[in-house]
Amino acid sequence: MMKIVADENILLLKGVFEPYAEVVYAPADAICPALLKDADALLIRTRTRCDAKLLAHSSVRFIATATVGADHIDADYCRQNGIAVFSAAGCNAAAVAQYVMTALLATELLTGKNIQERTLGIIGVGNIGRLVSALAVHLGMSVLLNDPPRAAREGTTSFVTLEELLERADSVTLHVPLTDHTRNLAGNAFFEQLQHGSVFINTSRGEVTDERALLHHRKKLGAVILDVWQNEPHIHRATLAAADIATPHIAGYSIQGKSNATTMVVRALAAFFDIDALKNFTATFAAEKTNIDIPCDKNRLRALLTAAYPIFEDDKLLRAQPQNFEQLRNKYPLRNEV
């Protein structure tokens, strides 16, 4: 019988594969070479680093991560060793986009400046960046887009260079994958070019921001919103203190986002191992979205976003117990998208 090892914190997964495989659930820090020795598939989240150290003596043929990013998976090693890799790209795009816009609305209280007076620079215009752009425009913001790979494919008409974005925007949000090119993207040169009073938001990966540079330039920034951190879960207290809104890597933690991730992971594994009964599987919570399909009334959208997610409550929890970063994340009470 096929054996699957799965992170125990992937929601709505228990019971799904049991009719077809032996399933072993474990916390991320307990997923080890011994557990994978005779496993065929591995289902993970961001905390499991999949590389030669973990996989060299395993029989794993398929890895799926119930996350958007896959920087925790050594793609070269998997390719060279015939291990298929799947990530749930786009699963939580709406949740992250709504987090960003809720945070921007919260900055009105912090800076005294209405977001309609701001120009938002979006760095990385994939699944999440597109939705952030649509919401920002609908709420009356001017928007600048930076995405070099898309600009190379589609032309530069809709995009600006990073230098132009930093020069013209007074709010910047990062939505890039972690690669050699984006590591420490927000460094000294980045912050030197930002306008005084700018809002800085990072919900991508902690290592995209050079936290030393952020701290060095903190006084010129109007507000700092961080959901991701260097050295998670052992975050630096100085960076936490410098942030105006701080959350424990939960921007994408909505009911719908988690349902989408599990749905995508199950279907991908079912397709790879040819489990017909699960190829159209859908994971569902007993929850309903409020319809905010654009266009809708701008004031209604503002009210819905603010009411749906009291972002300062998550900020208070993290500041009160930063040492429990991982527990706050794993036990997070999922919010409903609007």
Q: What is the per-residue pLDDT across 132-160, written as a single tens digit (0 to 9) for each?
A: 999 999 999 999 999 999 999 999 899 99
Query: What is the pLDDT, as a whole number, of residue 241?
Result: 98
**How confident is the model over 110-133, as a mean pLDDT?**
96
* Location of structure tokens 């959208």: 301
3-state SS assignment for residue 41: strand
Judged against a pLDDT cut of 70, whether residue 219 lies above it is answered with: yes
Do β-strands 3-7 and 41-44 pair in parallel, antiparallel, or remain unpaired? parallel
Q: What is the per-residue pLDDT across 79-89, written as a single tens digit (0 to 9) for each?
A: 999 999 999 99
Is 249 assigned a catalytic role?
yes
Given the residues 47, 118, 205, 335, select the one marked as catalytic.
Answer: 205
Can you list the domains of the chain with their CATH numbers? 3-87+256-278 (3.40.50.720), 93-252+305-330 (3.40.50.720)
Judged against a pLDDT cut of 90, whether residue 11 lies above it is answered with: yes
Query: What is the pLDDT, as a whole number, of residue 287?
Result: 55
Q: What is the per-residue pLDDT across 99-119, written as a single tens digit (0 to 9) for each?
A: 999 999 999 999 999 999 999
Cα–Cα dist 321/165, whole Å: 36
Cβ proximity of 172 and 200 under 8 Å: yes
Given the residues 45, 47, 217, 249, select the one marked as catalytic.
Answer: 249
Is 232 assigned a catalytic role?
yes
* Location of structure tokens 């859908």: 282
DSSP string for 136-176 = HHHTT-EEEEE-HHHHHHH-STT---HHHHHHH-SEEEE--
Query: What is the pLDDT, as a whole number, of residue 307?
Result: 84
Query: What is the pLDDT, as a whole number, of residue 304?
Result: 83
Residue percentage of the chain with pLDDT more than 70:
96
Hey, what are 103's tokens? 């945070």
Cα–Cα dist 122/103, whole Å: 14
Query: What is the pLDDT, as a whole number, of residue 85?
Result: 98
> In the structure, what pLDDT confidence band is assigned to residue 228 with cuts at 50, 70 and 90?
very high
Residues 80-113: b if buried by 16+ CB within 10 A, e if exposed: eeebebbbbbbbbbbbbbbbbbbbbbbbbeebeb
Handedness of CA 72, 76, 82, 84 (dihedral sign): positive
Residue percentage of the chain with pLDDT more than 90:
92
**How confident is the model over 92-101, as a mean pLDDT?**
97
**How confident is the model over 288-297, as a mean pLDDT?**
53
Which residue in 239, 235, 244 sits closest to 213, CA to CA?
239
Which residues face 121 on adjacent strands?
A: 144, 172
Given the residues 8, 232, 236, 326, select the one marked as catalytic.
Answer: 232
Taking the CA atoms of residue 8, residue 10, residue 11 and residue 16 in that order, the dihedral angle to the nearest 10 degrees is -80
**How confident is the model over 228-243, as a mean pLDDT?**
98
Q: What is the per-residue pLDDT across 296-332, written as a single tens digit (0 to 9) for each?
A: 567 778 888 888 899 999 999 999 999 999 999 999 9
**How confident is the model over 183-192, as a mean pLDDT?**
98
- Average pLDDT score, the chain: 94
